[in-house]
Structure 1
Amino acid sequence: MMKNVLGVLLLFTAGILPIRAQQINLDPVTVSTSILEKRASETGRNLTVIRGEDLRNLPVSSIDEILRYLPGLEIQARGPMGAQSDIVLRGGTFQQVLVVLDGLRLNDPTTGHFNSYIPISPSEISRIEILKGASSSIYGSEAVGGVVSVITKTFESSSKADESFLEGGLAAGQYGLWNGQLGGYLHKDKLRVSGGILSNNASGQELRGTKGYFHNHTASVSARYQLAANTHVAYRASFDRRDFAAQNFYTAFVSDTATEKVTGWWQQLEIGHTGKSSALTLKAGLKSAVDEYLYNPVSVANKNTSGLGQLLLTWSRQWSDHTDFVAGVNYQQRKIRSNDRGNHEIQQVAPFVAASHRIGNLNIHPSLRLDWRESSSAELVPQLNLSYKLASWQLRASVGKTIRDPDFTERFNNYNKKLVTGGSVGNPDLVPEKSLSYEVGFDYFHNTNWKISATGFQRHQRDLIDYVPTSFADMPRKENLSPTGSFALAENIARVVTRGVEADLQYQYAWNKKNRLNGMLGITLLDSEQSVAKPSFYLSSHAKLLVNTSVSYKTGRFFGSLNGLYKKREPRQENALLTRVEKTYFVLNAQAGLDVIVDKLSLFIQVDNLTDKRYSDLLGATMPGRWWRAGIKFRY
């Protein structure tokens, strides 16, 4: 197995040759670390930035598949091509990573299982920023393992003048697969407009007595208008629907033949004014989602309607050439209406401040947030980031506190049903998770064409929430529970210490317009120690060794790309389901194509899971074997 991994690493190494290349910037301006515009090398954080155009020819069909091969990100997929995936960073659970779209949080108040449903098309992505480590002092709850920030072409602060394109593709393949994508962008004078449609459909491979079908669709449109030289307004509306087989996504019972439909709407508004040395921005977001989950044909479907409303007001000022300051306040309203979890609503208000000060080559970034939640006490969340820039090197260190609030599923799952015969049960007495994180590391930039990063980190966590097998006699509330049932209760069960090291490599070469090479590689080693021996479902599910890699190459009319993923983790097995979580697995996806019209129209063939590996990221949810397709792409 490791020979396969080494083969991919050698493929990457072959690209790092002493060749003459056009310069491509791997040290861009970012706002993800503190809402202050700074170069990535000045932030004091391990930050990976991937441009949208570098993702265009990778063998992926959905945004969660894009994330799966980015350095250091662990995507625990339950189904293919956007059905459902959990996002993990630095060994945190799927609830401990925050997803942000153009500055506003996307995490669903019902469950973190929906956080990978990013409601845009791939063609709208300007860049993806992966911020690893503690980030709650700016972003609040869930920013424990890190933040996945997606910035689109319409909402980004700067873009190429008078640029426009239309691109898309259509493919068909095995198991009734067909997928299509269409997207475009227009920048003319004061107006920017972008939008797109993404659709993935298949009857699916055989599961236990059914098929792993999916019908996943996303449609989005956005516009930005420059009202004056220093004032702009931007707006987005999106629709997202996922309809898929969900067998054993959440349980390990043989009777589980579930199906699920998740329908979401997203609206986003931004108004900004920039002065000579200050800027004021108001962002507003409204998210609603309807989740319909049917455990099996004879059960009653769970129907959950959730809502997330938010406002983010920020004011920033440049005090001098060496000092910047930002202050803001974030308001959130989370609510749910459910036949399973009941009706609940929570308000939250959080003011925050951050600063950046440079002394010679030393950059200091303190930040502080006060998080007040209606359901629990207020939390003060501080953080300090340091970076020292020396020629092509950045040395960095960070220490920060993080928090994570329980969601509505953890609090109230199966609380409103008349009779519960088994499964996960919520606990309204849960308290927020808290942790303290430390990290040190370095970045090395070579000729702006390649970047090497290495980081060591440690996170001390307490009151971590997970589901624990619990007998009927020990359940705190028994009113609607069957005495013969088998239950898992949500509890604050553990203190967990997570230690790890990560190394990332990015490189990009362009000999000319016809010859380009892009590559990424991430290696993460993790170890977590729990203070209790209670068996739990998610706390130990992360990979102990994670290697994710992608490479794409174009020369003349030919292009090809590979994505590789290797995991080593704790094995698990469920004999009744004849399924298991393997100790190790390696998956390789490949794509090759030929331009019919150079850089405008191409034909391609793609094979997922090239070696036909049988594997699961989470117990019971078996991922597909080898799966091929062929199609066309165009861009004008």
Structure 2
Amino acid sequence: MKKALWVGGLIAIALQANAQTDTTTRKLDEVIIQENRIQIPFSKQSRNLSLVDRQQIETTPARSLQEVLSFVPGVDVRQRGVTGVQADIGIRGGSFEQTLMLLNGIKLSDPQTGHHMMNIPVPLVNIDRVEVLKGPASRIFGQNAYTGAVNVITSLSEVRSLRLQGYAGDFGMKGINFAGSLPVGNYKQNLAISYDDSDGHQYNSDYQVSNVFYEGGVDLNANHSLRGMVAYTDRTFGANGFYTSAFPDQWESIQTSLASLAHSFTKDRFSLNTRTYWRRNNDEYRLRRNEPEFYQNNHTSTVFAVESNGSYKSKLGTTGFGIEGRKESIESNNLGNHERELFGVFLEQLVNLGSKTDIRAGLYSNYYSEYGWKHFPGMEVGFQASPALRFYSGVGSSYRIPTYTDLYYRGPTNIGNENLVPEQALSFEVGGKWTKNNWRGELVYFNRTSDNLIEWTRNTQREPWQPQNFNEVVFNGVEASAYYRTNPNGQPFQVRELMISYNYIDAEFIETPGLESRYALTALRNQVIGGVLLGFGKKIEWNTKMRYVERISQDPYFLLDMRVDYNRLGKLGFFAEASNITDSDYIEAGTVQMPGRWFRAGFMLNLQ
């Protein structure tokens, strides 16, 4: 099967089709980062920020956003099986509970558990770019942006288009993705649908994933605009080894619904964006797939929020401000029925001191019905030493409240802890960015001191896991990266992209005698990511990606992935992908043994 798919992909590359110029390529330095208040070009950011654009998404050997993010420096993606049917995302040694996921600025955090963080109801084909903010982001996005935030961005097109992608591969894998844009007068709208399934790479690892995403927007006049979104995802999968190795027949089915409506007002130097959104997550979990009566959990969590964010430019600089209200609730046969409210207020100021120095400082004050008021100050300083070289430094505090699973879960292998208190951290970073022609480089050092860190532990007699608060835990790290990109020129051979990065993290987490740690000692220690995208003429692209990963208490592993595209931007294109070419033996999360070498191939249809 593997050989047949690989040969089929190579045969497809030899076919002829029409090619187009890559008109989607944009200078990354000019992209405006979509924060909720003050928006700054990528090149002027005084933070450690990674940007994944459409070209990188399309040429990466990946079938899911989770797999794409695994090639972002400093991001730790722990997948349970292929295509990220369930995956946890950590940043700078943090856990999956400490990362905030957003979709067009809408927070996707679930009060039940961070394991649902990546239930993003957007087909990969419809994602325009992904912004990864590393470091404390509570001042910008609010609580739970503890170690960083990942913002998935979609865009509305003024041009009619249709994109269709299909693929098949090992493990009975197959999928179809559709994205269409159909503007009608002043009204712009997108519809995207996807379906993926597989028999699974091991016993009880099959899955079916469906996504439906609709987005529409209209400019009412020169100052006012409306934008709405409705999305739904259904994920059903065998969960062998996901949460415990004692029950190989685990099974889970998750449905996530999301709806939002936003109004934007812009006039002269003032802008205001107000939106409301609703998110519901249904989670059915069985310890034995075909025996729900043996042990079954049913959880329904609901989030309703309203927020308003704005900015005003004056002689003193740019002022950002915002207010939000959020209600979270859960109905569960295991966790019980609970609800809590959040209220937050933002204020920040960006000031330019001359032509080279800028200071951005602010405060987010948060009230939680269970924990009272908390305040998160932060500040960044940037210095443009030359047109090519920028230095920056920043400090900020962050905060995460326990999930309902942390507090109330009861099961044969896990028990919650109602006495947990929120975890807090103070973070500092200093770095430099260099940009010259087609090259970018960055070097940054960071320090994070966590207090009341929440970590699941158990005693050496193998009693159930239970979360505990740990006193001061210190993380230190260094990230170095270099990146090169040039536009396609149709030459017989061209290096179009080249990247290399190295991350080192030292976590001063010392286990208590007699206790085992579940997550802290599986955090990244050393991470090396590399990639090269080659162009052969106008139509063939060959992308090679590699990762070396070493965790604190686990054996290191090396992964090599490749993708070949033919006529990617033409009307009809083909691709072939191979993952784990080195056939490495490794585990990323739980006790799920990841697959060895595996292949897939497919086609792309682009019409305008």
**TM-score w.r.t. structure 2 length?**
0.90
Deviations 1:378-432 (A, max 9, x none): 1011001110112211100000011011011101111xxxxx5x31111122111
Instruction: Say which of 487, 492, 505 aligns to 2:482.
Output: 505
Correspondent of 2:390 among 382, 387, 394: 394
Aligned counterparts, 1:148-163, within 5 A = 148-154=150-156, 162-163=158-159
2:427 is the alignment partner of 1:437: yes
Partner of 1:446: 436
Is 1:491 the counterpart of 2:468? The answer is yes
Alpha-carbon RMSD across the aligned residues, in angstroms, is 2.1
Further displaced range: 339-348 or 118-127: 118-127
Question: C-alpha displacement at 1:549, in angstroms?
Answer: 3.4
Structure 2 counterpart of 1:6: none
Q: Is the 8 A contact 2:511 2:517 kept in 1?
A: no
Residues 334 and 26 of structure 1: CA distance in aligned 2, closer, same or farther (over 3 Å): same
Amino acid at match of 2:527: L
Q: Tell whether the 8 Å contact from 1:564 to 1:586 is kept in structure 2 after alignment.
A: yes
Counterpart-to-counterpart distance in 1, 2:209 and 2:36: 34
- Cα distance, 1:511 vs structure 2: 4.2
Unpaired stretches in structure 1, ≥5 consecutive residues: 1-21, 415-419, 473-484, 572-581
Partner of residue 230, structure 1: 223
Q: Secondary structure at the match of 1:549?
A: strand
The 3-state SS of whatever aligns with 1:342 is coil
Match status 1:293 vs 2:285:
yes
Tell whether the 8 Å contact from 1:608 to 1:627 is kept in structure 2 after alignment.
Answer: yes
Unaligned runs of 5+ in 2: 1-23
> SS at the partner of 1:41?
helix
Structure-2 residue corresponding to 1:105: 107
Would you say the 8 A contact 1:402–1:436 is kept in 2? Answer: yes
AA in 2 matched with 1:53: Q
Q: For the Cα contact (< 8 Å) 2:188–2:218, is it kept in 1? A: yes
**Residue pairs, 1:19-418, within 5 angstroms:** 25-32=27-34, 35-154=37-156, 162-186=158-182, 190-206=186-202, 210-253=203-246, 255-296=247-288, 297-298=290-291, 299-320=294-315, 323-360=317-354, 361-390=356-385, 391-414=387-410
Aligned residues: 574
1:235-256 alpha-carbon deviations (Å, 9 max, x no partner): 1111101111111211242x34
- Residue 576 of structure 1 corresponds to none
Cα deviation digits, residues 465-517 of structure 1 (max 9, x gap):
11111599xxxxxxxxxxxx931222113421000000122321114267671
Cα distance change, pair 312–634 in 1 and its aligned pair in 2 (3 A): same
The counterpart of 1:603, out of the listed 574, 578, 581, is: 574
Matched ranges for 1:540-559 at <5 A = 540-555=521-536, 556-559=538-541
Distance in 1 separating the partners of 2:36 and 2:119: 24
Change (3 A) 1:598 1:130: closer
Q: 1:466 to 1:315 in 2, by over 3 A?
A: same
Residue 549 of structure 2 is aligned with which of 552, 559, 567?
567
- CA deviation digits over 1:4-27, x for unaligned, max 9? xxxxxxxxxxxxxxxxxx995231
Shift of 1:188: 6.3
Code of the residue aligned with 1:38 in structure 2: it is: I
Offset at residue 213 of structure 1 (A): 0.7
**Compared with structure 1, are the counterparts of its residues 32 and 401 closer, same or farther at alpha carbon in structure 2 (3 Å cutoff)?**
farther
Cα distance in 1 between the residues matched to 2:604 and 2:465? 47
Aligned-pair identity in percent equals 26
Q: Is the 8 A contact 1:424 1:489 kept in 2?
A: yes
User: Offset at 1:84?
Assistant: 0.7
Distance apart, 1:601 and its partner CA? 0.8
Contact 1:26 1:451 in 2 (8 A): no
Q: Secondary structure at the match of 1:613?
A: coil
Query: Residue 200 of structure 2 aligns to a residue in which SS?
Result: coil
Distance 2:112 2:467 in 1: 14
- SS of the residue corresponding to residue 212 of structure 1 reads coil
Q: What secondary structure, in the 3-state scheme, does the structure 2 residue paired with 1:27 have? A: helix
Which among 417, 423, 435 is matched to residue 427 of structure 1? 417
SS in 1 for 2:276: strand
Q: Distance in 1 between matches of 2:535 and 2:285?
A: 44
1:591 aligns with 2:563: yes
Stretch of structure 1 that moved more, 177-186 or 262-271: 177-186
In the TM superposition, residue 163 of structure 1 has moved relative to its aligned partner by 3.0
Matched letter for residue 585 of structure 1: Y
What displacement does 1:123 show? 2.7
Structure with greater strand percent: 1
CA spacing shift, 1:536–1:588, aligned 2, 3 Å: same
Quick check: 553-562 or 354-363, which moved more? Answer: 553-562
* Aligned-partner SS, 2:217: strand
Deviation at 1:57, TM superposition (A): 2.2
Worse overlay, 115-124 or 130-139: 115-124
Tell whether the 8 Å contact from 1:130 to 1:148 is kept in structure 2 after alignment: yes
CA drift of 1:627 comes to: 1.4
Please tell me whether the aligned partners of residues 33 and 135 of structure 1 are also in contact (alpha carbons under 8 angstroms). no
Question: Is the partner of 2:405 in helix, strand or coil?
Answer: helix
Deviation at 1:532, TM superposition (A): 4.7
Residues 594-616 of structure 1 deviation map (CA, whole Å, 9 limit, x = unaligned): 33x97221222221211222210
2: distance between equivalents of 1:511 and 1:140?
A: 40
Counterparts of 1:356 and 1:334 in 2: how far apart (Å)?
A: 32
CA, structure 1 residues 239+103, in 2 after alignment: closer, same or farther (shift >3 Å)?
A: same
Encode CA deviations 1:531-553: one digit per residue, 9 max, x unaligned.
55242111121110112334333
The answer to whether structure 1 residue 614 and structure 2 residue 608 are counterparts is no
Report the AA paired with residue 280 of structure 2: S
Alpha-carbon contact 1:23-1:509 (below 8 Å) kept: no
Judge conservation of contact 2:239–2:249 (CA < 8 Å) in 1.
yes
Residue 500 of structure 2 contacts residue 528 of structure 2 at CA under 8 Å; is this kept in 1? Answer: yes
* Structure 1 position 632, deviation (Å): 1.2
Compute the displacement of 1:331 (Å).
1.2
Q: Residue 146 of structure 2: SS of its match in structure 1?
A: coil
**More displaced, 350-359 or 79-88?**
79-88
- Contact persistence 2:488–2:535 (CA under 8 A): no
User: For structure 1, which segment, 273-282 or 500-509, has the greater mean C-alpha deviation from structure 2 after superposition?
Assistant: 500-509
From the superposition, tell whether residues 426 and 103 of structure 1 become closer, same or farther in structure 2 (CA, over 3 Å): same
- What is the rounded CA distance, in whole Å, between the counterparts of 1:398 and 1:185 in structure 2? 40
Shift of 1:34: 6.6
Which amino acid in structure 1 is aligned with residue 421 of structure 2?
Answer: V
Matched position secondary structure for 1:354 = strand
Deviating above 6 A after TM superposition, structure 1's stretches of 4 or more consecutive aligned residues are 513-516
Change (3 A) 1:86 1:348: same
User: Is the deviation greater in 167-176 or in 335-344?
Assistant: 167-176
Q: CA deviation at 1:194?
A: 1.5
Give 3-state SS (helix, strand or coil) of 2:195's partner.
strand
Provide the C-alpha distance between the structure 2 equivalents of 1:107 and 1:518, rounded to a whole number of angstroms. Answer: 33
Q: Structure 2 vs 1, CA of residues 189 and 488 (structure 1 numbering), >3 Å: closer, same or farther? A: same
